[in-house]
Chain A
Amino acid sequence: MDAHKVVTLAPRIRVRALGKIFGDGPTRVEALKDIDLEVCDNEFVTLVGASGCGKSTLLRIIGGLEYHTSGEILSSGKPVSGPGADRAMVFQHYSLYPWLDVMENIRFSRRLQVNRGELTSADVEVASGRAEALLNLMGLPNMAHAYPNQLSGGMQQRVAIARALMGRPEILLMDEPFGALDAQTREVMHDLILHVFKLEKATIVFVTHDVEEAIYLGQRVVLLAPRPGRIDTIYKVPLPAQRHQDMKHSREFLDLKKQILQRIRETSGMKTDSDLLEQLSRTASTQ
């Protein structure tokens, strides 16, 4: 029902018959094939799938950091022709500027505009208010003048998220942003990003290999299958919009998790865990 309604609205991101081939000749890799996907305004979509199935490639194409080789991609109705401030991206790591302090990192996009003379001093005033609000939102009010290498991994990612939000992007793209964090920090970050999502009303596409994370955060979970990368199944998450950690133990959550995990195994050529073990022992014995 819901899904039908949103599709008839103009989607924020529309991907049609999209394909991506890396290289040619013997190094040719068909990373994505026939991808059809629509993400509506203010939707939170997560992408999961086995490693190498093209999650990052799809996200990077949406972000304009990678070009596609067939099909089309529209963002806010316009063809994507390169990266732009309307589609902010949060990377797994190494994206903060270590020579700038936390506040300067967050204000980086404003600095670009100031340099170009695009902002009046009143705008700058408003911007510094926003930067401070974001810093508070991220729970780092006292860290404005710390340098990134003085922060823990979790704090660094919060700064990266604040920096991405600074320019009020319509779309927030995240590629395993919590992949390098420990489990406890990750849970905190999950609730934080859901809070941000509610407050900022952005459209979020979130790549992860962690199925639990994908279900907990997403309204829909898109499962990609490898070789060539293609959309296998799109699951609608049967949880209320307001998420809570306890829901991870609910029947609906656990059922969906089991279902998706099983499907990932199947699409990557392994039916069960014992298949995986067998394959591992086979590769071990041939070495």
Chain B
Amino acid sequence: MASNSLARPGIWSIRGPMSQRRYWIFAAIGLIAPIIAWSIVANSGWVEKVFMPTPGSVWARAVLWWTEDNLLQDAAISIYRVTAGWLLSAVIAMPLGLLIGTFRPVQALLEPLTDFIRYMPAVAFIPLVMLWIGIDEGSKVAIIFIGTFFQMVLMVAEDVRRVPTAQIEAAQTMGATRLEIIQLVLLPSAKPALVDTLRITMGWAWTYLVVAELVAANSGLGYAILKAQRFLQTDKIFAGILLIGVIGLVIDQLFRLLHRKAFPWMHTKS
């Protein structure tokens, strides 16, 4: 009766296999269970409604916000600020990171400095930014920029440094010049990692957006959350936080889609 084949490893074996279908079932449980738990707690009466609104009332508030209170405009202005701050940092961080990761003198000149600045809390710059720029759009963009730029430079530099030396040297022995190596080896080789860096820093940009809007704005999702607190509209606070989460998730998935479409060679295995 000895069995002559090893049993198929179960899903709980270490790094065990899992079918696509099961994966999504578990993912759905992971997403829905907290909502059910929240619903039970909120409806039970253990916690006062003012502190913990029910999922239903949050949804109703979100609908109301959309129909009466210009949710779309709040979201649009927030998205605009995030994109502006993040784009500004990307436009400067990409070439700078490329230079740091490629040329040692640039690295020596800028990397320790950047490392130092990135440990200064971006939030602590807010008073300074307000003094210098005031509280118009520029200040929000500036705070997002300060929060993301320095990290982004270091990550881009690291992405470029990760390009295998053999790829560079192979090009050199085929007669490539420095400029050609940057254009035809370093950039295309680092590109997938760079897209990941952009995706991750986009997440940070959202964090700094909310910080900026909480202290220095009179519009946007962060400001709406702050205002809701003043009027004890806990359901609106919930709605705002969840909305930012959803927008972030959508943007993240778009980046992942871009990654799959732009770099098919990374996602094909024979």
Contacts and interface: CB of A to CB of B under 8 A. Distances in A.
Interface of A: 63-65, 82-85, 87-89, 91-99, 101, 108-109, 111-112, 115, 146-151, 160, 163-164, 167, 173
B269 A94 contact: no
Nearest to A93: B166
Given A83-B169, A97-B185, A163-B174, 5 more contacts: A63-B173, A88-B173, A89-B170, A91-B166, A99-B188
B190 to A, nearest CB: 10
| B-side interface mostly | helix
A258 B169 CA distance: 35
Nearest to B171: A108
Given A83-B172, A97-B189, A109-B175, A147 B265 contact: yes
A93 B169 CA distance: 12
Contacts of A101: 265
Interface in B125-154: none
Contacts of B191: 99
A91 B266 CA distance: 22
B172 A65 contact: yes
**Could you say which interface size class chain B belongs to?**
20 to 34
Contacts of A98: 189, 265-266
Tell me what chain A mostly uses at the interface: helix, strand, loop, or mixed: loop
Nearest to B262: A99
Contacts of B73: none
Interface string B157-192: 000000010110111111110001000110011010
B268 interface: yes
Given A91-B170, A94-B166, A150 B184 contact: no
A150 B268 contact: yes
B270 interface: yes
B263 interface: yes
Contacts of A65: 169, 172-173
Contacts of B180: 112, 115
18 contacts: A85-B174, A87-B173, A91-B166, A91-B170, A94-B166, A95-B170, A97-B167, A98-B189, A99-B265, A108-B171, A108-B174, A108-B184, A109-B174, A111-B184, A112-B176, A149-B266, A164-B173, A164-B174
Contacts of A93: 166
Given A95-B167, A98-B266, A149-B269, A89 B173 contact: yes
Contacts of A94: 164, 166-167
A268 B170 CA distance: 31
A90 B182 CA distance: 21
Contacts of A147: 264-265, 268
